[in-house]
Amino acid sequence: MRRLLVLGLFATILLIGCRGRQSEAPPIHPHLSMDFQEKFGAQDYNPFFEDGAAMRKPPTGTVARGYLRQNSELHEGRLSNGEYVEQIPIAVNRQVLERGQDQYNVYCAPCHGKSGNGNGVIMRGDYGYTPASSYHVERLRQVTDGYMYDVIKNGVRNMPPYAQQIPVRDRWAIVAYIRALQRSQNARPENLPESVVTRLEEETGATLRSAGDTTTATVASGTE
Ligand code: HEC
């Protein structure tokens, strides 16, 4: 009987202990270790330094980890003599092109249009923007990849720069995708796989290749 009573009492104490009462007081901290130390907050005054600021400036020329940008071809799109690189300095594969397409559609298509003809959704409204360029003009087909990269990074005339929004490799991926867009509007029969040429010839009734010589063939729709 007595044992039952003790047990009951014990259970009651336990239950009361479990009520989950909330408290603002810090938990009991039997071993302080180094948990509580004096320290300076970001904007605190510190008499140790002449300017009294606790927060110190990093020495001039300090570069944050991962931000050393010595490769001017990659980061600036320029050779060491300052000229634009002719070609994209990263390996271009399907994955890069798809990334380029994705980022192009986010950042460039609103003005330049999904097919790059300068007819993006912003340009179709009456918002008073300077018209965005079409990529399908001879001059922009001829510019170097480095120049395209520079336009994305630094902007051009009325187009704002996108360096803040688009990281380096994505800029190159976008350049690769613009090249694909340009090719899409200006393809020659010899750029197409044999099966596609055959299909197009069947569908349109046009002759895309003259006997034995594909280089002189012209596309019937007049894009060449
Ligand atoms: C806010 C609208 C806008 C966006 C977004 C935009 N552009 Fe432009 N872009 C323009 C305008 C406007 C021009 C023409 C500027 C001028 O002639 O003053 C232009 C011109 C260009 C040119 C031609 C430069 C030349 O030498 O004539 C290229 C290439 C270009 N943009 C690429 C891009 C790429 C790549 C992106 C996406 C990263 C992009 N633009 C995003 C508005 C835009």
* Residues linked to residue 45 through DSSP beta bridges, in sequence order: 53
Residue 173: inside a domain, yes or no?
yes
Tell me, what CATH number does 172's domain have? 1.10.760.10
Provide the domain count of the chain.
1
Q: Is the pTM of this model over 0.85?
A: no
Residue 13 backbone dihedrals phi, psi, to 5 degrees: -60, -45
Report the run of H or E that residue 74 belongs to, with start and end: helix 72-75
Neighbours of 123 (CB within 10 A): 17
58-76 burial code (b ≥16 CB/10 A, e <16): eeeeeeeeeeeeeebbbeb
Beta strand segments in 54-142, E: none
Residue 20: inside a domain, yes or no?
no
Residue 191: inside a domain, yes or no?
no
Q: What span, in angstroms and rounded, lies between the C-alpha atoms of 145 and 178? A: 10
Range of the domain at 176: 72-185
Report CA(109)–ligand 1 centroid distance (Å): 10
151 lines ligand 1 (CB under 6 A): yes
Instruction: Give me the pLDDT at residue 216, please.
Output: 43
Residue 9 backbone dihedrals phi, psi, to 5 degrees: -60, -45
130 lines ligand 1 (CB under 6 A): yes
96 lines ligand 1 (CB under 6 A): no
Digitized pLDDT (tens) for each residue of the chain, 224 residues in all: 788 888 888 887 776 666 567 888 877 878 877 878 888 998 999 999 999 999 999 999 899 888 888 899 999 999 999 999 999 999 999 999 999 999 999 999 999 999 999 999 999 888 888 999 999 999 999 999 999 999 999 999 999 999 999 999 999 999 999 999 999 888 887 888 889 888 988 998 888 776 554 444 444 443 33
Closest CA relative to residue 73, chosen from 163, 157, 172: 172
Ligand 1, atom 21, lies closest to the CA of 133
Residue 224: inside a domain, yes or no?
no
Report the run of H or E that residue 99 belongs to, with start and end: helix 94-107
Q: 42 is written with which tokens? A: 């970001």
Neighbours of 217 (CB within 10 A): 17
Residue 123: inside a domain, yes or no?
yes
Residue 130: inside a domain, yes or no?
yes
Atom of ligand 1 nearest to the CA of 104: 37
Residue 66: inside a domain, yes or no?
no
Residue 200: inside a domain, yes or no?
no
Report CA(156)–ligand 1 centroid distance (Å): 7
Report CA(157)–ligand 1 centroid distance (Å): 9
